[in-house]
Amino acid sequence: MPPFHPAAFAGRIGVAQRDITPPVGIFARNWGAARHDVASGIHRPLMLVCATFATDASAEPLVLIGADLGWWKSAQDERTLREGILKALGLDASRLMFCLSHTHAGPGTFSEDAVKPGGEHILPFLQKVQDMAIEAAKEALASAAPATLSWQYGHCSLAVNRDLPEPGGNVTW
């Protein structure tokens, strides 16, 4: 049997998180069945998590940021946020990944929705997200420590067929 070598990264890894919960009253119509346009309260906080990876202390890091947000309706809004982070961290664009969780429970992130009810909170919120991303990235970089991250691949056949037949018919969903 050949030796098994799991996939892994060994280097300096840092992690930090920030609360990016938007203000009550922000435009938040991100779900078709919603009965309101603005956030009327906070059920759970929205979070931003940053992980940084570098082969050693002198190497340019990879910065991976995940945010509890829905989606970008404007490439320019995303570009503005990314460019601010890149400039603050002095990173090449290829070294930053900013990923959204696709939550429908978050606020609008489209600057042109500023004319809608609660839209006046969108631009300040996007600035807050950028500021929190920069803070989290700086903290993750400063606290990075020698670590190994490993992963493996697997397969599970549980619940793989979502096209179940309709009882008494030949229609599948």
DSSP 87-127: HHHT--GGGEEEEE---SSS----GGGGGSTTGGGHHHHHH
Tokens 């490439």 appear where?
75
Terminal Cα-to-Cα distance of the chain (whole angstroms)? 44
Tokens 């970089």 appear where?
141
Residue 33 DSSP code: T
Tokens 């190994």 appear where?
148
Residue 4 has pLDDT above 80, yes or no: no
Residue 8 has pLDDT above 70, yes or no: yes
d(C-alpha 139, C-alpha 46), whole Å: 19
Residue 165 has pLDDT above 90, yes or no: no
Residue 85 has pLDDT above 90, yes or no: yes
* Higher pLDDT pick, 126 / 172: 126
Query: Mean pLDDT, the chain, as a whole number?
Result: 90
Give the per-residue pLDDT at 99: 97
Instruction: Give the confidence band of 36 by pLDDT, cuts at 50, 70, 90.
Output: confident
